[in-house]
Chains A and B, each alone.
Chain A
């Protein structure tokens, strides 16, 4: 059974593009326009990995990451943003993000990061 990747991004074009890309790689994709929508989702099976944008209305990606860590510490989170900064990268990685990616990102990079995230067990305390 293929892994399910949750895509959290307020930009529908990005959501759909990533969805198409991940599905073309054989993953199942589940799309959420906001962090709250993701947190409220109780669909089964739960996602195996989260690919989240940072800047979103309401709860942002870093806050979502913290909340996921509180609720499901084993769920890997990959942060992807079109508004990168060193401070944001440091903050995300320090909070346990598996990867911090800048938009636009290549298919190879996405594939590699997701494979690593799914393969590597949670290592943070």
Chain B
């Protein structure tokens, strides 16, 4: 998941829908063309000069000859002045265009002139249809996003953009935005939301595809249009942040590897400890049991010794049972969290951690969260671990399936708190497996350890919540995690 946001949130309220009183962005109200440049106003001045001259000519036509000639001279002077102004005006416009062109071409930053008119029309249509929550609408309709993305046109790019994209000519880039913004991009929706909100500026990080198929991570910025006509020529700037992102990914990977090594070491130590704790009473049981058999099978059975050995067997078995009970208390009981967390933020962070893997697997992640989610008592690291587990499982479920591989993550207010949903369009889970997927050591993956969902369940229950799955064979799976709102009494 890319960090994508628009810098100036505006007045569009949140909410799933609102057929009545949906505030509209100012560009939707303006309706007309972009504001006239100052130079064009000079054209009006020229007309103002020539028009009186014509009037003077007309009035003086009826006057005596001398006055007639004087009037003609005055009128001619007016027309001449008007033509002179118009000439200067056209030259100034040509010059301004040339300068603008030079600035565009020579800018030391990648610039893209793009036509988003289709988006403006689509957003207006949504508004007319009474759709108030553009994010939720499109997040649930990835195919509509794809259609809109195809309809956005790159009209022109500058030299720096040609260099950035590794092409020899700008014609290789002109055309549909769909050609450079891959299906795994998740920032297009942010653009739509920013437009719908009437934001003035937009900024986000996204990865784009070069014609040779390689990816480049870019920071995109744009001043958003103030009129509908302005959607036809939006200038977007892009800065290559691939190295920064790669360094960031290496850092995240190193952190994850350190955490994995730490977990492995902990698990190793824990396993050794459990082995010792269990094997000791087992060893005593085996020895005592075999000793009792030997005492009993003697030519003269020694019943006292046999009795003593069997009594010890019972005591050692009880000790083994206590060890297991202690281990369960120690390992399974997760302390109840005592602080509130921002769930949307936590989920975004988790998606950021897996973003590169998702991109590699060609998975398109859409995330949507209700506004003003209630505060929840949970451990952010545990929520992230749940998320990473569920998202990785969902990606695995779609591996080998043809694109698009859509993965939907939502956070929704429900009566009991907040419900997290992770949905994939994979093969689904057979009903006999569905009841076992949260059991420890159960896995449908050939190399799976079968602990991921068991850990998720432990964490969810530690929040006082629960986790479950709904699945349709051939239609995909949705994992649900309910996290109770603070003060829900759990």
Contacts and interface: CB of A to CB of B under 8 A. Distances in A.
A13 B305 contact: no
A105 B286 CA distance: 7
Nearest to A11: B280
Interface residues of B, number: 27
Given A14-B287, A82-B283, A20 B276 contact: no
A11 B283 CA distance: 11
Interface string B166-185: 00000000000000000000
Chain B binding surface, main DSSP class: helix
Contacts of B287: 14, 17-18, 20-21, 104-105, 107, 110
A89 to B, nearest CB: 14
Given A106-B286, A107-B294, A17 B316 contact: yes
Interface string A59-90: 00000000000000000000000110000000
Contacts of B223: none
Interface stretch (B253-261, B307-315, B370-378, B449-457): B307-315
B272 interface: yes
B283 A17 contact: yes
A94 B294 CA distance: 34
A14 B291 contact: no
A39 interface: no
Given A16-B312, A82-B280, A83-B272, A104 B305 contact: no
Contacts of A16: 284, 288, 312
Given A103-B283, A107-B290, A82 B276 contact: yes
A16 B284 CA distance: 8
A81 to B, nearest CB: 8
B282 A104 contact: yes
Contacts of A102: 279
A17 B282 contact: no
B295 interface: yes
Contacts of B308: 20
Contacts of A82: 275-276, 279-280, 283
Interface centre among B287, B302, B312 (most CB of A within 10 A): B287
A96 B257 CA distance: 40
Nearest to B286: A104
A20 B288 contact: yes
Contacts of A104: 279, 282-287
B281 interface: yes
B209 to A, nearest CB: 50
Interface of B: 272, 275-276, 279-288, 290-292, 294-295, 298, 302, 305, 308-309, 312, 315-316, 319
18 contacts: A13-B319, A14-B284, A17-B283, A20-B287, A20-B292, A20-B308, A20-B309, A23-B291, A24-B294, A25-B294, A82-B279, A83-B275, A102-B279, A103-B283, A104-B284, A104-B285, A105-B283, A107-B287
Given A17-B309, A103-B283, 10 more contacts: A16-B288, A17-B312, A20-B288, A82-B279, A83-B276, A83-B279, A104-B282, A105-B283, A106-B290, A107-B286
